[in-house]
Amino acid sequence: MWLPLHTVSRRSSVAALLQISRHRGKDNVSLFSHSAGLRAQTCPALLYRKHGDPSKVVQLEDVDLPPIGAKDVLVKMLAAPINPSDINMIQGTYAILPDLPAVGGNEGVAQVVEVGSQVKSLKTGDWVIPKDAGLGTWRTEAVLAEDDVISLPNDIPLLSAATLGVNPCTAFRMLSDFEDLKPGDSVIQNAANSGVGQAVIQIAAARGLNTINVVRDRPEFTQLSDRLKAIGATHVIKEEALRRPEIKELFKTCPKPKLALNGVGGKSATELLRHLQFGGSMVTYGGMAKQPVTVPVSALIFKDVKVRGFWVTQWKKDQSNNGTAFRVMLDELCHLIRQGKLTAPVCTEVGLQDFSKALDTAMQPFTSAKQILIM
């Protein structure tokens, strides 16, 4: 079932604040002048005025920075990834869409430069990430409400901070909220090379869980398998292996999974279901194949499997009146990062001015590196 499209109402004022002028090049972009106590009146941003092909509708332009209110913070964006959901938003196919014109990007890390007179939870120099989607992170600076961001420790790697708010949070919640997993239990997932997949591998390994990681066949499968095993994967197999008798050999040394994580859909999801143990759960968080999930009747009747969905944006909304759960999760993820047990996915750092190349690369199949815009 398709999610309904609707507008992000609490972002409706953002478009009104974007008085746009064409980007005039670096020589004409005014930057912060802290010694003079002044700040830029505009900042470069990747903006789109209509939905469509990102390579055609996204432009680097100057946008006005609104005045800093009493409960606002002025931040300098440090780094922001290009995620599939960002692409879908620009295309107009995502479940939530900001008012247009809009600045792209839903994730990233920024540093607080100035705080409003009534800001209590943040101070100059703090690192922050968005609490929710729709802030528009593909820009060099922004004025944001204190309540729209949450602080991170600045002693973790920049790329880990920039990519923490979506994929690791998705992985954390799916491993925590659907099955009571104990050390030695197994989890099976497709899209194991994705940002979520890599986070699942690492968080599961830290908890003593086995992971069966399914990836599409490709020329560099051996190198990919070695890389995933290096970050904690127990088994790495090709999609075709799920349909072959040899899979039975794997389950002689590894218990059948209690939990299946589906980011693909279609036949791949059906194959995951076939290998769940009795009463297990399959959680769908993505649909890269753009094919529906088909659930065999026998799996429901004879194995009593549970078929669920997860969207981290909705989880964050549900927790918006209780910041404790989000804070606790971020603290635990940062602890894993400090221990070296959770690293950022393979990333390619790209300057904001090279956004076109980064967008094109992010949309290619078999992309092995996440594109990160460095401001």
Q: Which helix (H) or strand (E) holds 172?
A: helix 167-177
Give the CA distances from residue 324 to residues 147, 310, 316, 319, 321, in Å, rounded to whole numbers and listed in that order. 14, 20, 11, 8, 9
Give the CA distances from residue 105 to residues 86, 90, 129, 223, in Å, rounded to whole numbers and listed in that order. 6, 9, 12, 31
Q: Is 94 a catalytic residue?
A: yes
C-beta of residue 192 within 8 angstroms of C-beta of residue 214: yes
- Backbone torsion region of residue 263, taken as left when φ is above 0, otherwise alpha when ψ lies between -120 and 50, otherwise beta: alpha
Contacts of 312 (CB under 8 A, 6+ apart): 166, 169, 170, 173, 285
* Marked catalytic residue, from 48, 94, 127, 172: 94
The two beta strands, 21-22 and 102-103, are unpaired
CA dist., res. 216 & res. 238, Å (int)? 6
∠ CA 280-289-355 to the nearest 5 degrees? 120
Q: Return the residue matching tokens 């090049």.
A: 25
C-beta of residue 107 within 8 angstroms of C-beta of residue 129: yes
The two beta strands, 72-81 and 370-374, are antiparallel
Q: DSSP secondary-structure letter at 166?
A: T
**pLDDT tens per residue, the chain (375 residues)?**
333 333 344 444 444 445 444 443 333 333 333 333 455 589 999 999 999 999 999 999 999 999 999 999 999 999 999 999 999 999 999 999 999 999 999 999 999 999 999 999 999 999 999 998 899 999 999 999 999 999 999 999 999 999 999 999 999 999 999 999 999 999 999 999 999 999 999 999 999 999 999 998 888 899 999 999 999 999 999 988 888 888 888 998 899 999 999 999 999 999 999 999 999 999 999 988 888 999 989 999 999 999 999 999 999 999 888 779 999 999 999 999 999 999 999 899 999 999 999 999 999 876 678 999 999
pLDDT of residue 24: 37
**Polymer length of the chain:** 375
Give the CA distances from residue 231 to residues 224, 235, 236, 342, in Å, rounded to whole numbers and listed in that order. 11, 12, 12, 8
C-beta of residue 106 within 8 angstroms of C-beta of residue 139: no
